[in-house]
Amino acid sequence: MFGHFDYQEILRNLPYLMKVGMTFTLTLTGLVVVGGVIFGTLLAMMRLSSIKPLSLLATTYINLMRSVPLVLVIFWFYFLVPYIGAWITGANQPVKVGAFLSSVITFTMFEAAYYAEIMRAGIQSVARGQVWAGYALGLNYWQTMGKIVLPQAFRNMVPILLTQTIVMFQDTSLVYVLSITDFLGAASKVAERDGRLVEMYLFVALVYFVMCIAGSYVVRRLQRRIAIIR
Amino acid sequence: MHYHWNWTIFWDMTPEGTGTYLHTLLVGLGWTLATGLAAWVIALVLGSILGVVRTAPVKWAAAIANAYVEVFRNIPLLVQMFLWYFVIPELLPGNLGDSIKQMAPPWASFVPAVLCLGFFTAARVAEQVRAGIMALPSGQRMAGTALGLTLPQTYRYVLLPVVFRIILPPLTSEFLNIIKNSSVALTIGVVELTAAARAMQEFSFQVFEAFTAATLIYIVVNICVVFAMRWVEQRVAVPGFIGRAVAAGGH
């Protein structure tokens, strides 16, 4: 069964897999966490806003993103981003957008919808009295949000935001459908070149597994450490 | 910026000559639903068993079930898809592996896709079932024991009938997830809805019409499932007992 298993194959290609593939995956994950949480927080604030059109717009966007598969969203943005680029710059031709930028935009827009729902729960977990206290002190909306509500909302939601980030880290492997060389893409290229599918895919599975298990362990530790004793 | 909209494209024949583009999309929807439903059967049965075992007072069995959940939750779905499609047939003893690889065209990718989605979602269902059982007051279990029921009887007649009512909302979102996740099967050659839209885009060059149609179909399926499950929830609700929703995450 494992008689033909070629460990050397993995060792030989390890530098390529890590330097090209894992770097792409981690950079993408990092940028999307930052962009997704910022954009998601804005979406959550819009959704909770008392201005009806804003709230309706955010709700529609979030529900739309959450009801279609990520693979379809990846295709959508892959074709849509060049046209949006042309529209913004006023160019006549669709703008050429690199694979990396295209995936950053796609995942930021998609994950923002999921982060938004987490941040909405976070904002709602802050007692109403805190908001009233802020207004009573003469702070405006942005000051109340920025100095009182959001810091507490973030603190309450950090474990869930991180768990969602682990899910997103796994989901970035779907850029495979655009033939991008992320960690899985790199392994798949090597696997097909050398005809070593078994070794490569098992190794990829193991690496993802170890990284995600380690990630969830860190999240659990953090959860205990930052829990607010009420 | 010029994009030539052509919304009548859906009634044009495909180059393959097997029907209109709309027909292609609907066949794709058929495969999406077939994959999702077949996988859901596996996920629900296996997930329920695993969820129950995780709360049962048999240490080693609970440990195995916990390990299962950790493994299937911490490997990306796409990687699992490749493991089922490329790796498992190689690792099985000679004849069995070969006969899997030589299955007639749609089945050679459909069967691994269903198994992959089923086993993947089972881990998530197990998590919901466990959370549902843990959410019940421990007096329920003790009452079962006090009545002289055996452990399996306690689960069958006391705990699970309530648990499945409590976890209907998160199970609904898992079912929606399995339909969405079935799009990952396009990587191993299942021509489900997203793949059909992609094929339509490649043949007709009408990118945005194809993807808009696929998006609308996914939304309609979503709405139908949500309404159907709401109806089921009302049908099975125990009067005077309002189930508490268990939080669901991920996608």
DSSP per-residue letters across B95-116? HHHHHHHTS-HHHHHHHHHHHH
Query: In terms of residue numbers, what domain contains A189?
Result: 7-226
- B219: closest CA of chain A, how far (Å): 6
Query: Per residue in B174-183, pLDDT tens?
Result: 999 999 999 9
CB distance A73 to A110 below 8 Å: yes
ipTM metric: 0.90
Q: Let me know if residue B221 belongs to a domain.
A: yes
- Chain A residue with Cα closest to B249: A164
* Mean pLDDT, range A35-52, rounded to an integer: 95
Say which residue the tokens 């490569």 belong to. Answer: A200
Mean predicted lDDT score pLDDT of chain B: 88
Task: For chain A, give the mean pLDDT.
Answer: 91
State the pLDDT confidence band at A6, using cuts at 50, 70 and 90.
confident
Residue B248 pLDDT > 70: no
Q: Which of A177, A201, A205 sits opposite B187 (nearest CB)?
A: A177
**CATH number for the domain that contains residue B156:** 1.10.3720.10
User: What confidence score (pLDDT) does residue B143 get?
Assistant: 93
CB under 8 Å to B121, separation ≥6 — which residues?
B39, B40, B42, B43, B47, B174, B177, B178, B181
Cβ neighbours of A87 in B, within 8 Å: 1
When pLDDT is cut at 50, 70 and 90, the band that residue A90 belongs to is: confident
Is a pLDDT exceeding 70 seen at residue A146? yes
pLDDT for A2 beyond 70:
no
Interface test with A, best of B74, B83, B117, B182 (most A CBs within 10 A): B74
* pLDDT of amino acid B247: 44
pLDDT digits (tens, 9 = 90+) for B39-92: 999 999 999 999 999 999 899 999 999 999 999 999 999 999 999 999 988 888
Asked if residue B20 is part of any domain, the answer here is: yes
Biggest distance spanned by C-alpha atoms of chain A: 74
Counting Cβ atoms within 10 Å, is residue A89 exposed (0-12), middle (13-18) or buried (19+)?
exposed
> With bands split at pLDDT 50, 70 and 90, how would you rate the model's confidence at B241?
low
Q: Output the pLDDT for position B114.
A: 96
pLDDT band at B1 (very low <50, low <70, confident <90, very high): low
Measure the CA–CA gap between A86 and B58, rounded to whole angstroms: 62
Say whether pLDDT at A147 is over 60: yes
Contact partners, residue B249, CB within 8 Å, separation at least 6: A160, A163, A164, A167
Predicted confidence (pLDDT) per residue in B114-131, tens digit: 999 999 999 999 999 999
Neighbours of A203 (CB within 10 A): 20
CB within 8 Å: B78 and A174: yes
Provide, as residue numbers in chain B, all residues whose Cβ is less than 8 Å from the Cβ of A76. Answer: 211, 215
pLDDT of residue A150: 95
User: pLDDT band at residue B18, thresholds of 50, 70 and 90?
Assistant: confident
Q: For position A182, which CATH number holds?
A: 1.10.3720.10
Does B77 contact A at CB distance below 8 Å?
Answer: yes
* B residues 146..205 contacting A (CB < 8 A): 176, 180-184, 186-187, 194, 197-198, 201
Does the pLDDT at position B245 exceed 50? no
Give the residue-averaged pLDDT of B29-43: 96
User: In chain B, how many domains are there?
Assistant: 1
Specify if A16 maps to a domain: yes
**Whole-number pLDDT of residue A84:** 85
Between A159 and B8, the more confident residue is A159
Q: How many domains does chain A have?
A: 1
Mind listing the pLDDT tens digit for each residue in A93-129? Answer: 888 888 889 899 999 999 999 999 999 999 999 998 9
Digit-coded pLDDT (tens) for B197-238: 998 888 888 889 899 999 999 999 999 999 999 999 888 887
Whether residue A151 is predicted with pLDDT greater than 60 in this model: the reply is: yes
User: Within a domain: residue A173?
Assistant: yes
Q: The pTM is what?
A: 0.90
Q: Which pLDDT score, from 0 to 100, does residue B240 have? A: 66
Q: Is B236 on the interface with A (CB under 8 A)?
A: no
Is there a domain that residue B246 lies in?
A: no
Model pLDDT, residue B246: 43
Determine, yes or no, domain membership for A77. Answer: yes
Give a yes or no: residue A141 inside a domain: yes
Is B7 among the domain residues?
no
- Residue B154 maps to a domain: yes
- pLDDT tens for B90-120 read 888 777 777 777 777 778 889 999 999 999 9
Question: What is the pLDDT at residue A60?
Answer: 95
Two structure tokens written together for A82 = 């060049």
Handedness of CA B192, B193, B194, B197 (dihedral sign): positive
- Predicted confidence (pLDDT) per residue in A56-74, tens digit: 999 999 999 999 999 999 9
CA distance A174 to chain B (A): 7
Question: Each residue of A14-46: b (16+ CB within 10 Å) or e?
Answer: eeebeebbbebbbebbebbbebbbebbbebbbb
User: Is residue A46 situated within a structural domain?
Assistant: yes
Q: Is residue A1 part of a domain?
A: no
pLDDT tens track for B112-171:
999 999 999 999 999 999 999 999 998 999 999 999 999 999 999 999 999 999 899 999
pLDDT > 90 in chain A, percent: 69
Is the model's pLDDT at A184 over the cut of 60? yes
Rounded distance between C-alpha atoms, residue A70 and residue A175, angstroms: 10
Q: Is residue B245 part of a domain?
A: no
Q: Is A2 a domain residue?
A: no
User: Would you say residue B91 lies in a domain?
Assistant: yes
String of b and e for B168-199 (b: at least 16 CB within 10 Å)? bbbbbbbbbbbbbbbbbbbbbebbbbbbbbbb
- The boundaries of the domain holding residue B225 are 13-236
Tell me whether residue B242 is in a domain.
no
Which residues on chain A are in Cβ contact (under 8 Å) with B76?
A: 170-171, 173-174, 184, 208
pLDDT of amino acid B95: 77
pLDDT digits (tens, 9 = 90+) for A25-35: 999 999 999 99
Give A-chain residues touching B208 at CB under 8 angstroms: 79-80
Is the confidence at residue B251, as pLDDT, over 60? no
pLDDT bin (cut points 50, 70, 90) of residue B244 is very low
